[in-house]
Amino acid sequence: MLAAVGLGGVLAGCSTAAVPYAAEENGQVPGSAPGGTGGAQAGAGQAGGAQAGGMGGSGTTATGTVLADAAEIPAGGGVVFAAEKVVVTQPARGTYRAFSAVCTHVGCIVNRVANGTIDCPCHGSEFTITDGAVVTGPASGPLPERRITVTGGKVILA
């Protein structure tokens, strides 16, 4: 029993300044703000991508949840939606991509998009805005893609 208490004390001392996935679910992390710019390009036909156009709506629709106006996602950058645990990027003007905002290293929520990468505050992992691939570890796997559509100028999470 004493060994378990000692281990708990050791683990408690290993916290980071960033808030992991489970704490964010309990409302302990404020929403994230739009990120900076970057420069890679991606094709619109890739899974998880969407082209602007079509007819729109607002709020929750029969096909998903409206995250933002497409104009709020900067070209060459992106926006983290912490409550929905999704990050939406626009690697090339008019091409939108979406990925899980849960870092594949230890489950922290990514907190910004800057200089062409999606960044995790816990241990410094960075992922590309084009396909979610790891640029800088310690994460070893890409951010999973999420399905979005861009309809009537709105980004909708499917």
Write the DSSP assignment of 37-67 as a string of letters. Answer: -------TTSTT-EES-S----SEETTEEEE
Domains parsed from the chain with CATH numbers: 18-157 (2.102.10.10)
Considering the chain, what is the average pLDDT of its residues?
Answer: 72
What is the rounded average pLDDT of the residues 90-114?
Answer: 94
- pLDDT at residue number 64: 85
Q: Rounded distance, CA 154 to CA 68, Å?
A: 6
- pLDDT at residue number 150: 92
Helix, strand, coil content of the chain in percent (nearest 5)? 15, 35, 50
User: Between vectors from CA 66 to CA 54 and to CA 124, what angle results, nearest 5°?
Assistant: 115
Tens of pLDDT, residue by residue over 10-39, are 333 333 333 333 333 333 333 333 333 333
Cβ–Cβ < 8 Å for 46, 147: no
Task: Give the distance from CA 19 to its chain's centroid.
Answer: 14
Burial 54-92, CB ≥16 within 10 A → b, else e: eebeeeeeeebbbbbebeebbebbbbbbbbbbbbbbbbb
- pLDDT at residue number 8: 40
Tokens of 82: 């912490």
Question: Where does the pLDDT of residue 158 fall: very low under 50, low under 70, confident under 90, or very high at 90 and above?
Answer: confident
- pLDDT at residue number 41: 29
| Phi and psi at residue 89, to the nearest 5° | -120, 160
- Determine which helix (DSSP H) or strand (DSSP E) holds 60, and give its type and residue range: strand 60-61
For residue 62, is pLDDT > 70? no
